Amino acid sequence: MSAATIVAGTLAVSALMPAPTASASPDGGAGHSLLGTWEGERQVISSATGFFEGPVALEVTEQHDRTFKGVTQYVTSGGVRVKKTVVGAFTPERKVMAGSNDEGVYTFDLVRRDVLEYCYVEHGGDASVTSCGQLVRRPTAAK
């Protein structure tokens, strides 16, 4: 087989293959920023108080590469308003996203650029608590 035939065959095969595209990541490959305020509802089950639902917010105030820091705000089943510092990190393709506060751990899944699903687990002390929810990033004001 001649070199010209091999080159022609290679070009024909490559023409049939799809061209490389931008990252299939939720943000279109434009970066992995989690900065902003995320709001939603959570469902909670506690070994001490049972099932309850309520609003939750996560404000991500700092991010350095794949690590971030922010504050969660929620109301307990007893009506107490709580603010907790959260720190987290994620792998380069966001296949693994995790975080923690001073009492428990989070898992996260950025399902779309502005939609973040999470679960939180806390154990020890007086009760075990598990909650999950979906957070939507609040649009930022144009400057």
E-only strand ranges, 1-143: 36-46, 50-64, 67-75, 81-90, 97-100, 104-112, 115-122, 129-137
Average pLDDT value for residue range 15-41: 60
Q: How confident is the model at residue 142 (pLDDT cuts 50, 70, 90)?
A: low
Stated pTM of the model:
0.74
The span from the first CA to the last CA of the chain, in angstroms, equals 63
**Predicted confidence (pLDDT) per residue in 72-81, tens digit:** 999 988 899 9
Report in angstroms the alpha-carbon separations of 44 from 13, 19, 55, 132.
Answer: 54, 46, 11, 7
**Predicted confidence (pLDDT) per residue in 13-22, tens digit:** 333 333 333 3
